[in-house]
Chains A and B, each alone.
Chain A
Amino acid sequence: MESREQKRPLPGFGGDSEEGRDSESARVREDRIRLLNEITSEGLQILKKSERHLPDTVERLAPSTRKQLNDLMQRGLAVWTKATKEVENARES
């Protein structure tokens, strides 16, 4: 059963009021919410495809599943960090 996509800001995210007023940051924030949703959906698919019997704990995931999840999160993190740098560069300039 799929969950509904979240469009509202995530809890604890976008609390920076200066950032909130900045239209450029608002766009980044939306991109990030989309990114997190994509990672979550892709992670879900990885788990569904890789684990025939879903274990109770992360430690019991197959090494290949862990690697796939890790790669996915590293990719997401790279996008996330790039966006942060872009915002910082824009502020500095």
Chain B
Amino acid sequence: MPENLSLSVENISGLYGTRRFEFKPGLNLVTAPNAAGKSSLIHALQALVLDERDLSTRDYFLHTFESMGRVELSMGGHQYVRRLRARDGGISVGGEALHPEGQKVNLFCIASEDNELVDRVKTGKALRSTLLDFSDHKYYELLGDFSEQQRLRSESQLKQYRDKQAELELLTGQLGRIEAELEQLEKERKTMEEVPLEVVVKTEEERRRLAQAQKELSEIIGEITATEGDISRIKNRLEDLRNQELRLQQRVGDFESQHPDIEDELASIDRELESYKNQLGQFRSEMDSVQARLQDTSHNWTRHVKYGVDECFACGKPIKAEDLRDRQKKLEQRSAELGNEINSLQWRMDGRQKERNQLQQEWTEVRSQIRADLNNVRRAIDVQEDTHKKLEAKLDGLLPNRPKLSELVKQLEATFDKETREKLEKRRQLDEKIARRDQDRKTKIASLEQIGDVRTQILQFQEEIRFYQQLKNLASEKAEIVRRAVRDMFNERITEVYRLLEFDKDFERIYLDDGFQLKIIRRFGDQRKPDNINTLSRGEKETVALVLMLAGREAYLPDFPLFVADETTFYDSTRFRKIVEYVSKRAPYTIITNLVAKDKQDTLTIEHQLALA
């Protein structure tokens, strides 16, 4: 005999303080007027099943004036406790959930206003992921995708081996052609006329001697040419140096012819400068004397003009004013003359001094720098001349060898057996060609061996591809079977209920199509017409959602004992009775809330039987 479920709720949504509820097996009809706690009771049940992530944002699950809440359910001798605590605008959760897959339970077992399935039905959205993802369909699809990935990997490897196979075929073709050519060459070689061994030896010896003589001649010619080139370069260099020597000698000669006795020339200029200096001293001394006398005269003139004194202020001798004016004029004239003389003399002295400095500098340059350059050039000339002599000697040594070797080559060529040589040469060329082809053959064989036998690998990958393809096909087929089975199961349930509730008077069919989109076909007399799902009434939509949830519960959560439906007042009393009976037959504990008028009932009560309409 199933036990009663005991639910304790503390500070959840509108339920303040601790409230206790008892649910019996079968129907539990929760009736109450508005704001009496029906939806809060649903929230308490949701708090028991939802995981922490889903609960964390539902701060309205806690009573507005409390920061902690608690829900406890006694079931099967086990206590499930959930503790909620307000935290940073959300909720933190403690305790054990009623079911490990709370999201699935919330979707298929609690028909509340925030149920995604109900919402999608109401808004006419496709239900593929909502209904199908909980089946094995998605598992099979993923398995098929995994097989497909493996197949693609094997395809890629197969392609690599097929490329190798193509390369192998190419190499095999090339090897065939090489072997055919080799066979032909070897046949040709066998048919060649044989030359006696002693002739071969003799010819080989002649050929070797001729080749040696030609080589030596070539080397001698090369050496002579190189030496001649060196001599030519040395000559050019010597010419340059000699020209340079001539230019330097010319410059020294020019200076020495212009200044045959440079020491005397410089001494003469020095003497001239000394004379200028003495003369300048005399002029300056006289200038000082004239200036002093002019000052005295000027003073006496002032005494005469200002004070009428006509005697010298220095010696006291009488002086005439006319004499005084005359003397002053003469002295001023002499002072001007002396100034001119001094300037002129100074200018001449400066010019002469500059000439002397220039001469001295030029002389120093000729004496030291040019002579040093000249010495360097002369030494370089000596070195180059020495090298030139050595090269000439070397050339003299080499030149006689050339005619000797040329003569030897001519002699050897004259005695050479050309016919035999040509035969041997042809044979040698053929041997070389055969050796080259044989090497090609070995290279191709090595390449073929390196690639190895790809046939086994190709067969292996072909098998793998076949295997993965079959596996993918099977998984896809199973996924499709599951998809169809899920859709058919839901459609069967919808049909069952709309007949039960006598919706079939207006609808030929309400069903999920291949894409899990709800469709309707309306009925009007004998006419049938597809219509938009949004034209269904709220009650019809809620019924479809409820049926889909019940079917989903049976399919995906067959052992979960509770089914909860919030607010079912949109049904008329007959249909309400039918749907409640239908639901309560399909879950061990069915909890359905229903609104009643406040004047009939002012508190929340739980009934276990449907009142007669």
Question: A1 near B555 (CB under 8 angstroms)?
Answer: yes
Q: Measured between alpha carbons, how far is A44 from B140 in the docked complex, in Å? A: 7
A1-B482, A1-B555, A57-B145 as given contacts; A36 in contact with B474, CB under 8 Å: yes
Question: B463 near A54 (CB under 8 angstroms)?
Answer: no
- Answer whether residue A11 sits at the interface, using C-beta atoms and an 8 A cutoff: yes
A54-B133, A80-B467 as given contacts; A3 in contact with B481, CB under 8 Å: yes
A3-B481, A40-B475 as given contacts; A80 in contact with B463, CB under 8 Å: yes
Q: Which of B136-181 contact A (CB under 8 A)?
A: 136, 138-140, 142-143, 145-147, 149-150
Question: B136 near A13 (CB under 8 angstroms)?
Answer: no
Question: Chain A 47-71 against B: per-residue CB contact (8 Å), 1 yes, 0 no?
Answer: 1100000110110010000100110
In chain A, what residue has the closest Cβ to B462? Answer: A84
- Answer whether residue A2 sits at the interface, using C-beta atoms and an 8 A cutoff: yes
Q: Measured between alpha carbons, how far is A72 from B485 in the docked complex, in Å? A: 27
A70 — which chain B residues lie within 8 A by C-beta?
150
Interface of chain A, main secondary structure: helix
- Answer whether residue B115 sits at the interface, using C-beta atoms and an 8 A cutoff: no
A44-B143, A58-B149, A69-B146 as given contacts; A10 in contact with B474, CB under 8 Å: yes
- Within the complex, which residue of A40, A48, A58 is in contact with B471, where a contact is CB–CB below 8 Å? A40
Question: B486 near A1 (CB under 8 angstroms)?
Answer: yes
B146 — which chain A residues lie within 8 A by C-beta?
43, 58, 61, 66, 69, 73
CB distance from A51 to the nearest CB of B (A): 9
In chain B, what residue has the closest Cβ to A13? Answer: B470
Q: Measured between alpha carbons, how far is A37 from B463 in the docked complex, in Å? A: 18
Question: B142 near A76 (CB under 8 angstroms)?
Answer: no
Question: B474 near A47 (CB under 8 angstroms)?
Answer: no
A43 — which chain B residues lie within 8 A by C-beta?
139, 143, 146, 475
Q: Measured between alpha carbons, how far is A55 from B143 in the docked complex, in Å? A: 12
Number of interface residues of B (CB under 8 A): 32
Question: A76 near B473 (CB under 8 angstroms)?
Answer: no
Contacts A44-B139, A81-B463 aside, 8 further interface pairs with beta carbons under 8 A come to A1-B136, A36-B474, A48-B139, A58-B145, A61-B146, A73-B146, A73-B150, A84-B463
Task: Identify the interface centre among A48, A54, A70: most chain B CB within 10 Å of its CB.
Answer: A54
Question: Chain A 2-25 against B: per-residue CB contact (8 Å), 1 yes, 0 no?
Answer: 111010001111000000000000
A1-B482, A1-B486, A73-B147 as given contacts; A37 in contact with B474, CB under 8 Å: yes
In chain A, what residue has the closest Cβ to B129? Answer: A56
Q: Measured between alpha carbons, how far is A13 from B474 in the docked complex, in Å? A: 11
- Answer whether residue A39 sits at the interface, using C-beta atoms and an 8 A cutoff: yes
B464 — which chain A residues lie within 8 A by C-beta?
77, 81
Question: A10 near B482 (CB under 8 angstroms)?
Answer: no
* CB<8 Å pairs between A and B, sample of 14: A1-B486, A3-B485, A4-B481, A12-B470, A36-B471, A43-B139, A43-B143, A44-B136, A47-B139, A66-B146, A69-B143, A73-B146, A73-B147, A80-B463
Question: B482 near A3 (CB under 8 angstroms)?
Answer: yes
A3-B485, A4-B481, A77-B464 as given contacts; A40 in contact with B474, CB under 8 Å: yes
Q: Measured between alpha carbons, how far is A66 from B147 in the docked complex, in Å? A: 11
- Answer whether residue B468 sits at the interface, using C-beta atoms and an 8 A cutoff: yes
Question: A76 near B482 (CB under 8 angstroms)?
Answer: no
Question: A77 near B142 (CB under 8 angstroms)?
Answer: no
Q: Measured between alpha carbons, how far is A48 from B556 in the docked complex, in Å? A: 13
B138 — which chain A residues lie within 8 A by C-beta?
54
- The 7 A-B residue pairs whose C-beta atoms are closest, nearest first, are A3-B478, A3-B481, A43-B143, A58-B145, A1-B135, A80-B467, A47-B139
Q: Measured between alpha carbons, how far is A44 from B485 in the docked complex, in Å? A: 17
- Within the complex, which residue of A1, A6, A47 is in contact with B477, where a contact is CB–CB below 8 Å? A6
- Answer whether residue B57 sits at the interface, using C-beta atoms and an 8 A cutoff: no
